[in-house]
A and B are shown apart, each in its own frame.
Chain A
């Protein structure tokens, strides 16, 4: 871990941000599901860019991802990802449709997933904005259901500009019947990264 941004202190800061961001997202999701959800403390880890998709199975594993760009004080991109299993469970829980594979999704599931991604990313970003007192203007989220490797190449490239390491935030929700695993990738550009950290009292030594 030779990247100046991705040290232990920064991980702790983002753990705290993610804890609050994810609990906002969890309550939003619970409302949508009409169920009680328990959230585990998010796991923030630094991984090699090229090892990213292994976490989701392999590069060909189908996942559902929502991407948005951030503007304002914080610029960059944010992504929310669910693996195939969790996505199918969510579709079943909310719109009561059972799919064999995500390859079978139709317009109805697509609009649900778009809405889901919208809610989860907005909840996270509004928590981040409040916590740091920074203005974050998210774009309209975009949904993509495709191979994990292909989707993850987008944040990996964004990170690739800075280093070979990237930060992955893993959140687990438990409903009364199911365990759902989701991931966030928060990819601020370099000046925004510094802004986020310094707004929380962490200084970056060059």
Chain B
């Protein structure tokens, strides 16, 4: 986390949620596991947003009322909000983090939901392609949690994990 901004001043995105902001703000999501964090940033207007989606598709789910819970409907919501906030969809830099398998040894069992991390990443790439959006960078998979911070001054995405060096993608 950058030293100049305390966590209280950051725009926080919870699980199944999305937020949009403008420089000098920073947008943060804490403890991303199997969920995916999708960030979009327009370098010219310095408007950006972050989606913290839990599941690949809204159509297969009983309760689809919260659109930000899903990769497919969440991306649509995020794009709409970004456009309203003044971002140009042609200029978006898209980054992706998360989609971990927190309990990798248990993947091959009865519960397909435990492979959700990989499925979320796959769905994200498919939906981005449908909207003609290309990933600028990503850090996905593995078996650890990530905190991600999008700096709307620079478009930098900072990634932190327990016991690891901070990196920027």
* Contact (Cβ within 8 A) A151 B32: no
For A154-165 the 0/1 string (1 means CB < 8 A from B) is 101110111110
Residues of A within 8 A of B32 (CB): 149-150, 153
Measured CA separation A93–B35 after assembly (Å): 35
* A137: nearest chain-B partner, CB-CB: B110
For residue B69, CB closer than 8 A to chain A, the reply is yes
* Contact (Cβ within 8 A) A150 B106: no
How far apart are A31's CB and chain B's nearest CB, in angstroms?
Answer: 26
* B105: nearest chain-A partner, CB-CB: A142
How far apart are B62's CB and chain A's nearest CB, in angstroms?
Answer: 6
For residue B48, CB closer than 8 A to chain A, the reply is no
For residue B152, CB closer than 8 A to chain A, the reply is no
For residue B102, CB closer than 8 A to chain A, the reply is yes
* A143: nearest chain-B partner, CB-CB: B103
* Contact (Cβ within 8 A) B109 A139: yes
Q: Which of B102, B114, B143 has the most CB of A within 10 A?
A: B102
Q: How large is the interface on B (under 10, 10 to 19, 20 to 34, 35 or more residues)?
A: 35 or more
Measured CA separation A153–B54 after assembly (Å): 8
* Contact (Cβ within 8 A) B106 A139: yes
A50-B14, A75-B110, A142-B103 as given contacts; A157 in contact with B31, CB under 8 Å? no
A76-B111, A153-B102 as given contacts; A160 in contact with B55, CB under 8 Å? yes
For residue A113, CB closer than 8 A to chain B, the reply is no
Measured CA separation A151–B105 after assembly (Å): 14
For residue A203, CB closer than 8 A to chain B, the reply is no
Residues of B within 8 A of A76 (CB): 111
Secondary structure type dominating chain B contacts: loop
Secondary structure type dominating chain A contacts: mixed
Measured CA separation A190–B111 after assembly (Å): 13
For residue A148, CB closer than 8 A to chain B, the reply is yes
* Contact (Cβ within 8 A) A149 B33: yes
Measured CA separation A68–B114 after assembly (Å): 11
A69-B106, A164-B63 as given contacts; A150 in contact with B15, CB under 8 Å? no
CB interface residues, B 93-150, toward A, < 8 Å? 100, 102-103, 105-106, 109-111, 113-114, 116, 143-147
A69-B114, A144-B102, A161-B61 as given contacts; A154 in contact with B31, CB under 8 Å? no
**Mind listing 16 A-B residue pairs with CB under 8 Å?**
A50-B15, A60-B147, A69-B106, A69-B110, A69-B114, A75-B110, A75-B111, A77-B114, A144-B103, A153-B33, A154-B103, A154-B113, A157-B113, A158-B113, A160-B61, A163-B62
6 interchain residue pairs of minimum CB distance: A149-B31, A150-B145, A150-B33, A59-B31, A59-B30, A153-B33
Using A149-B32, A156-B15 as known contacts, list a sample of 8 further A-B pairs with CB atoms less than 8 Å apart, ordered by residue number in A. A60-B30, A150-B144, A152-B31, A153-B34, A154-B34, A156-B54, A160-B55, A160-B61
